[in-house]
Chains A and B, each alone.
Chain A
Amino acid sequence: MSRHLDRTKEAGLAYLLIAPALVLAVVFIIYPFMRNFSLFLYHAPPYPGLPSHFAGLSQFTTMLTSSTFLQGLGATLLYTVIVVPTGVLLGLILAVVAHQKLKGMAIYRTIFATTAVSSVAVAAVIFGTFMNPVLGLLPWLGINPNPPILQSPTWAMLAMGVIGLWQFMGLSFILFSAGLQSLPEEVLEAARIDGASEVGVFWRVTVPLLSPTIFYAITVGTIGAMYTFGQMDLLVGPYSAQYVHVNTLAYQIYQYVVTEPNPGLAACISIALFIITAVITFVNFRFLERRVTYAN
């Protein structure tokens, strides 16, 4: 009997301990996720308080054929293509360079890693300053296209990509630094003794052994890139005439909630984004994991 009581008490304590996390999850993850589906299926009334009516998939199908959505999809994919492969490659190269046992490397390591923990606002301020058509560093260097970079259909997205790259590179650098630390040093030494040059060791041993990390960095980078909108909002903004070039899906969701409320459409886009991300992640897993070598 007392044993039973003990166990009940124990269970009670357990629930008490997970309660804060559970409440947070329900309020900020589970409820919004569910609510998203109801917004997706119902037309929101033009004024609060009026009844909403069931719309089925019609909002979604309308969205799928809208040019705004397709353009946003293109922008999102373009951004991802700019940021992820370059970020993975540069992060890897920087990590390999910083892995050398040289004096002062700790400082470089810290500098490279910092970009990962800088907020997008900080990044936007830094790069905004660089690119300012009047006071910026780039104009000072003589690079001052007309229209200005942030309003140019050609350059705006590239600028967004550079900012995203700057941030993702820090994360990618940290991931690869950790990966390099865990590589079996003797295997690399064996390759050197077996006649491989440093470049040969890198491509034929380091990269294959790091493939789990590469795979992870690509997946995480892709998911992150698909949801980017911070620098678009901060540097270009919804009211710029040229904003369409950088109008990623995540930014569209933000706008359909904040600047021109259309909750049904916002929900549809977020579900589309969710599906796209899930598919890309799945493909990543299937396609890359088969090629990944997990060292034992």
Chain B
Amino acid sequence: MATVAFRSVAKQFGDKSVLKGLDLEIADGEFLVLLGPSGCGKTTALRMVAGLESPTSGEIEIDGVAVTDLPPRERDVAMVFQSYALYPHLSVAKNIEFPLRQTQMSKAERAAKVTEAATMLGLADLVHRKPRELSGGQRQRVALARAIVRNPVCFLMDEPLSNLDATLRAQTRSDIVTLQRRLGTTTIFVTHDQVEAMTMGDRIAVMHEGVLQQVGTPTELFFNPANAFVAGFVGNPGMNLIHAARGDGELRVGEQSLGAGPATGTGPVLVGVRAEDLVLDPSGVDATCTGVEILGAEVHLLCSIGEDHVVVRQSATAPRPGIGEACGLRATGNGVLLFDPTSGQRLS
């Protein structure tokens, strides 16, 4: 068990800057989720902890010791790849045993550990199979078993759920969290799926285009996003972002009132409002309904306000406009946040 830290880590591939000075500390035993859209540098960051890539500048520390120059085998971390990367020529048991073969452990000891890990992940009946004879979910569990078997200082998981179907993914999410709690091993979990991040992480680090946007608990990120990117990315759906202007204690789109605004300040602003805080109101701003998603008890109305696309969450039984029809929208509640329209930074 250990702490992991990125100290001003930058990575360039050729002249393409993939990570731009990442500073991040992961506490001992913490489950940290690295969240961000595809291509933002999450995998690269994870691979640098594993030692598969070396930073262009900066240091990686494990337990306060710089490991930047150590090869992967001397770092004592375990990684679960998106592709699982099982050894196709080895049985499940041999796959799980592989990391132990590199240690001084006796054969009997190894066998006991393999059995323990296989049992923990419900693989006891499959130990003689080859990876190609397993389903996706079973392969994923073999990859997890191989990671936990040698009790590493840190788990690195790169989108391990992305190849599973929806039901299995939900199940596995909680299985992984339970397993991590039980073992107490520091974990960095990479995903582009904010639902995974919100449900699994002790803390979430949101990245965008190689830059860390915000680190915080799921609740902090949801209610207190540091900038418009985090606001729009976190939550399901993400926060609506509407171009508006402040003045006279009101937020306006053109001449129309979107809702109450701060008493002070004027000029353009990006208004962040959650789908549940937008309501249909004929006296609000002009909008057009462009689609309806019926989720069951609730529906998502997809609307456009000028150039901005927004989602309105309401009860399935409430009256709603038809697709293509005009409607009025208004922001209610205390959840309205203001962002700088150029920098995206939080204003209020």
Contacts and interface: CB of A to CB of B under 8 A. Distances in A.
Interface string B66-88: 00000111010111010101111
A295 B88 contact: yes
A184 B82 CA distance: 13
Interface stretch (A136-144, A145-153, A191-199, A280-288): A191-199
Contact of B51 (A187, A191, A193, A205): A193
A191 B81 CA distance: 12
A195 B81 contact: no
A5 to B, nearest CB: 50
Contact of A208 (B78, B83, B89, B146): B89
B83 A186 contact: yes
Interface string B82-120: 010111110000000011011100000000000000000
Interface in B295-331: none
B50 interface: yes
A199 B45 CA distance: 27
B94 to A, nearest CB: 10
A200 B85 contact: no
B52 interface: yes
Contacts of B51: 192-193
A193 B77 contact: yes
Contacts of A295: 88-89
B128 interface: no
Contacts of B181: none
Nearest to A209: B89
Nearest to A211: B89
B87 A195 contact: no
A193 B146 CA distance: 11
B50 A193 contact: yes
Contacts of A209: 88-89
Interface in B174-193: none
A187 B75 CA distance: 18
Interface string A262-296: 00000000000000000000000000000001011
Nearest to B80: A190
A194 B97 CA distance: 10
Interface in B29-51: 50-51
B129 interface: no
A10 interface: no
Contact of B98 (A186, A194, A293): A194
A193 B89 contact: no
A230 B79 CA distance: 53
B86 A189 contact: no
Interface residues of B, number: 26
Contacts of A200: 102
Contact of B87 (A187, A192, A211): A187
A184 B102 contact: no
Contacts of A296: 88, 131-132
B176 to A, nearest CB: 18
Given A186-B81, A186-B83, A190-B81, A195 B103 contact: yes
B85 A186 contact: yes
B79 A190 contact: yes
Contact of A184 (B83, B132, B150): B83
B79 A193 contact: yes
B86 A197 contact: no
Contacts of B85: 184, 186-187, 189-190
B87 A191 contact: yes
Contacts of A186: 81, 83, 85
Contacts of A195: 73, 99, 102-103, 150
Contacts of A204: 98, 101
Nearest to A291: B89
Contacts of A196: 73, 98, 102
Contacts of A189: 50, 52, 72, 79, 81, 85
Contacts of B99: 194-195
Contact of B73 (A193, A208, A293): A193
Contact of A194 (B88, B131, B146): B146
A189 B73 CA distance: 10
A38 to B, nearest CB: 48
A195 B50 CA distance: 11
A193 B85 CA distance: 11
Given A193-B78, A204-B98, 18 more contacts: A184-B83, A184-B88, A187-B88, A189-B50, A189-B52, A192-B73, A193-B79, A194-B73, A194-B78, A194-B102, A194-B150, A195-B103, A196-B73, A196-B98, A205-B87, A208-B89, A293-B88, A295-B89
Lowest 10 CB-CB distances: which A-B pairs, in order? A195-B102, A293-B89, A186-B85, A194-B99, A190-B85, A208-B89, A295-B88, A192-B72, A296-B132, A193-B72
24 contacts: A186-B83, A187-B86, A189-B50, A189-B85, A190-B85, A191-B98, A192-B51, A192-B71, A192-B72, A193-B72, A193-B73, A193-B77, A194-B102, A194-B150, A195-B73, A195-B99, A195-B150, A196-B98, A204-B98, A209-B88, A209-B89, A295-B88, A296-B131, A296-B132
Interface of B: 50-52, 71-73, 75, 77-79, 81, 83, 85-89, 98-99, 101-103, 131-132, 146, 150
